[in-house]
Amino acid sequence: MAESGTRATESGGSSPRKRPRKEAPPPLVEGVGEHKKARGQRAAIEDPKKTSKIWLNHKLVARPNYITSYGILMYRESTASDDPGSRRNSESADEPAKDNGCRNSHGDVPHHRKEFEYLLGLIPQGNAWTVFKGLPEPNETPEETAVREFEEETSLRFPYPFPNTGKNVFTTKLYGVTSTKKLLQIYLVPSPPELDTSRFDVDKVVTIDGSGRFSGLPEIIEIRFLTKDKAIEGVRGKGNHRIAKIYKSQISILERADSILHQE
């Protein structure tokens, strides 16, 4: 008879007893958005069979491949008024004109591409510029989520009705400060003439949740129109000696927007 913990084999030897295979636990789908550690993941996981990672407490919870965040990127043709240090409209007439575009087939006439500025917000805890975006609340449409996040973070009323964005809607992968990878849908919309960014009121901006040292501070402390290049290069916010740049994970958003607008 085989000793305890082993079983006899045809050759008289013994081998370790195989443990019964445990079934994998089902994915934690229900209640993920309600978990106290899942703040920022309140969009419910609807289909665990889809493929893109969501992490909770350093554990893979499910793999959704649907859009989890929505945002508005407002643009206008570039001006020098809100772009400190810009020389586009201030170069001396005595200075030679700079070739900022592409030459034609003759190689002598510069073609100046339009530049566009995008309305961005300055985040205090990261000293970085960001697009206005967020996660949906229950029963919200994507457009309603984008508008609400825009208003909460800029203190400005969004012009209604929601514009027909047509092809100016795109999605991009976005990596946050955690290990979570989100799929962000951006609505690229023109800035209406009645939008007055000087009416930005930091006291009306939604505040940061949590118990950290930034808890209670406004999520956005300044808004400004910046070109893609200026946002990447970095500019100082008001009263701040540190240069702020757009988050690296969001550079592709401005690049995609530039590409779309230059095709129009």
Strand partners, 235: 244
Please check whether residue 59 lies inside any domain of the structure. Answer: yes
First to last CA, the chain: 83
Please check whether residue 10 lies inside any domain of the structure. Answer: no
- Token readout for 32 is 């993920």
Q: What percent of the chain has pLDDT over 90?
A: 31
Residue 37 pLDDT exceeds 70: no
Residue 112 pLDDT exceeds 90: no
DSSP annotation string for the chain? -PPTTEEE-TTS-EEEPPPPPPPPPPP--TTGGGSTT-TT--S----TTS---EEETTEEEE---S--EEEEEEEEE--STTSTT--TTT--TTSPPP--SEE-TTS-SEEPPP-EEEEEEEETTTTEEE-EEEPPPTT--HHHHHHHHHHHHH-SPPPSSPP--TT-EEEEEEE-SSS-EEEEEEEEEEPPTT--GGG--GGGSPBPPSSSTTTTSBS-SEEEEEEHHHHHH-EEPTT--SEEEE-GGGHHHHHHHHHHHHH-
Please check whether residue 168 lies inside any domain of the structure. Answer: yes
pLDDT (mean) for 125-133: 89
Please check whether residue 66 lies inside any domain of the structure. Answer: yes
pTM: 0.63
Please check whether residue 224 lies inside any domain of the structure. Answer: yes
Predicted pLDDT of residue 84: 43
- 19-23, 44-48, 176-180, range with greatest mean pLDDT: 19-23
Please check whether residue 100 lies inside any domain of the structure. Answer: no
Give pLDDT tens digits for 182-201. 788 899 999 988 889 999 99
Predicted pLDDT of residue 263: 85
Are residues 35 and 150 in contact, defined by beta-carbon separation less than 8 angstroms?
no
From CA 210, how far away is CA 88, in angstroms rounded? 43
Please check whether residue 183 lies inside any domain of the structure. Answer: yes
Q: Which domain holds residue 219?
A: 53-75+113-262
Give pLDDT tens digits for 192-240. 888 899 999 999 999 887 767 777 889 999 999 999 999 999 998 876 7
As for how many domains the chain has, the answer is: 1
Please check whether residue 26 lies inside any domain of the structure. Answer: no
Residue 118: CATH number of its domain: 3.90.79.10
